[in-house]
Amino acid sequence: MRMQKSRLLLLPLCLVAAWPPPVAAQSPTAPAATGPDVFDAARDSVRSTAEWLARSVDSWFGDRPFEEGGKVTDGRVVLNLLHRRDEGTEFSLRFNARFRLPNVERSTYLFLGRDDERELVTDTPAAFTRQDRLQSERRAERSFFAGLGYDWRENVDFRLGLRGGLKPYAQARFHQRWPVGQRGLVEFRETLFWTLADHLGSTTALSYERPFSRTLALRWLSAATITQRSKEFDWSSDLGLIKDFGSERRGSVEGIVNGLTGSGVAVREWGVQTRWQQPLHRSWLHGELIVGRFWARPDAAARRQAVWALGLGMKMRF
């Protein structure tokens, strides 16, 4: 598969060109959307934009109709409000989507979105992202990204992409699950990545989940990232109890710890947080509340400080 260089450079700009999406004109007498209808209208608008963009990009590669295998998957828009005593209040918007393009091979897909640059490149597990750990991030750390992925096998895929400032990166990702005993499950993830700044790097993640009943489970997750440039391991670990209350409502209590080898501090931060998730509208709009208490020490010269943090989130899948 070949793609002209000029077209590839335009990928991160497609979202700007696509908004707002082309929609049919409404009758002057049509009532304005109110209440839950506002959520449905917003979701329809986001999805129509994504599908219009997918059709436009797919047309670059051939004349095969988009309906013949084209689709939008894994689409989500996430709004978060974070307040942390030592870092203030912050609002963030993230989105991601994955497109299947009929005029490209069936195993190839387009991906794009807006997210934390570092977490995107290193393929940080969701539980260890800054928003899930109730840590603020500078707006400059979030950027648009776009690229092409190739599913080589069921558990292996490759990605070539561009992130903020047209900076290239590449990934090779592998994941595998194994049952342990009668009820346990172990999952292993390995991501090899390359950037101009880091050169080669890797993120290794290992998780274990053990259900005690149909509604209660124990989960342990650890991950570590190293790059050719830094030579130091950035690591995190999370141990928690997860309770399912039915109707897609879920609560958890988690203990979290993270650090950086060679930083002079064995543990940069440790703490406890509680999380509650539930649907807000239908099955595709969910809300989340996180409350945490953390003890942070960023470097050897600083004293460990205890802080409270609160996070409010809303996720829309499309």
Percent of the chain with pLDDT over 70: 88
Please give the pLDDT value at position 264: 85
Phi, psi of 67 (to 5 degrees): -65, -20
Which letter does DSSP use for residue 222 in this model? E
Q: Which of 18-22, 216-220, 287-291, 302-306 has the lowest mean pLDDT?
A: 18-22
Q: Which of 26-30, 257-261, 288-292 has the lowest mean pLDDT?
A: 26-30
Domains of the chain: 73-317 (2.40.160.40)
Greater pLDDT, 293 or 2? 293
Please give the pLDDT value at position 9: 37
- Is residue 115 over pLDDT 50? yes
Q: Are 2 and 276 spatial neighbours (Cβ–Cβ below 8 Å)?
A: no
Which letter does DSSP use for residue 50 in this model? H
Phi, psi of 177 (to 5 degrees): -120, 145
Query: At 106, is the pLDDT very low, low, confident or very high (cuts 50, 70, 90)?
Result: confident
Spatial distance between the Cα atoms of 123 and 128, rounded to a whole number of angstroms: 10
Which letter does DSSP use for residue 38 in this model? H
Average pLDDT, the chain: 87
Percent of the chain with pLDDT over 90: 66
| Winning range, highest mean pLDDT, from 59-63, 89-93, 188-192 | 188-192
**Beta pairing, strands 234-246 & 88-100:** unpaired
Radius of gyration of the chain (CA): 21
Please give the span between the terminal C-alpha atoms of the chain, in angstroms, as a whole number.
29
Per-residue pLDDT reduced to its tens digit, 152-195:
989 999 999 999 878 999 999 999 999 998 899 999 999 999 99
Greater pLDDT, 136 or 244? 244
Cα→Cα distances 103→17, 18, 108, 125, Å: 22, 20, 10, 32
Q: Are 55 and 21 spatial neighbours (Cβ–Cβ below 8 Å)?
A: no
Please compute the mean of the pLDDT values over residues 53-69 and round it to a whole number. 89
Q: Are 118 and 111 spatial neighbours (Cβ–Cβ below 8 Å)?
A: no
Spatial distance between the Cα atoms of 302 and 265, rounded to a whole number of angstroms: 10
**Nearest of 137, 146, 64, 152 to residue 102 by alpha carbon:** 64
Please give the pLDDT value at position 30: 45
Global pTM? 0.81
Q: Are 244 and 252 spatial neighbours (Cβ–Cβ below 8 Å)?
A: no
- Is residue 13 over pLDDT 60? no
Give DSSP secondary structure letters for 87-117. TEEEEEEEEEEEEE-TTS-TTEEEEEEEEEH
- Is residue 238 over pLDDT 90? yes
Please give the pLDDT value at position 145: 94
| Winning range, highest mean pLDDT, from 60-64, 115-119, 133-137, 215-219 | 215-219
Spatial distance between the Cα atoms of 143 and 241, rounded to a whole number of angstroms: 33
For 88, the token pair is 């203030």
